[in-house]
Amino acid sequence: MDVDQSLNLISLTVHDCLTVFKIFLDSFLAINLHYSFTLSITYQNSAVRRQIFTAHANL
């Protein structure tokens, strides 16, 4: 194997690693965003329930 082929193989391997890392990072960010959104909605719903409960308790 000559130097050009060796460098080609190394650059291909680095490119593959970066591609896999990017896919992993994109997936991680998408999952993180999903859970952040879900927790935000859950928190808002609990705040609304608390307000309704407080309003009924004050009647």
Query: What's the rounded mean pLDDT across residues 40-46?
Result: 81
Handedness of CA 20, 23, 25, 27 (dihedral sign): negative
The domains of the chain are located at 22-59
Q: What is the pLDDT of residue 22?
A: 92
Give the Å distances, CA to CA, from 26 to 44, 50, 58.
Answer: 27, 36, 48
Quote the pLDDT of residue 59.
65
Q: For residue 53, give the amino acid letter.
A: F
| Residues 1-40: tens digit of each pLDDT | 576 777 677 777 888 888 889 999 999 988 888 888 888 8
pLDDT of residue 35: 84
Confidence of residue 43 (pLDDT cuts 50, 70, 90): confident
